[in-house]
Homo-oligomer: A and B are copies of this chain.
Amino acid sequence: MDIASIVGLVMAVGLIFWSMLSGSAPISVFYDLPSVLVVIGGASGAVIICFPLKTVLNLPGVVKKVFLNKTESVPALIEQLVSLAETARRDGLLALEGRLGEVKNSFIRLGVQMAVDGTRPEAIEDIMRTEIDATATRHRDGKAMMDQIGRFAPAFGMIGTLMGLIMMLADMSDPSSIGAGMAVALITTLYGAIVSNVFCIPFAEKLSFYNKQELVRLEIIVRGIMAIQSGENPRVVEQKLNTFLPPKLRPKEEAA
A interface vs B, CB < 8 Å? Answer: 3-5, 7-13, 15-16, 18-20, 22-25, 29-30, 34, 37-38, 41-42, 44-53, 56, 66, 114, 117, 119, 123, 126-127, 130-131, 134, 148, 152, 155-156, 158-160, 162-172, 176, 179-180, 182-183, 186-187, 189-190, 193-194, 196-198, 201-203, 205-206, 209, 243, 246-247, 254-256
Contacts and interface: CB of A to CB of B under 8 A. Distances in A.
A49 B5 contact: yes
Please classify the interface of chain A as helix (H, G, I), strand (E, B), loop, or mixed, using the class held by over half of its residues.
Answer: helix
A66 B165 CA distance: 32
A161 to B, nearest CB: 9
A38 B14 CA distance: 10
Number of copies: 5
B130 A193 contact: no
22 contacts: A4-B49, A4-B53, A7-B45, A8-B48, A11-B42, A12-B49, A23-B34, A23-B163, A30-B163, A46-B198, A46-B202, A114-B255, A123-B254, A127-B247, A131-B246, A134-B247, A152-B201, A156-B197, A159-B190, A162-B193, A165-B182, A172-B179
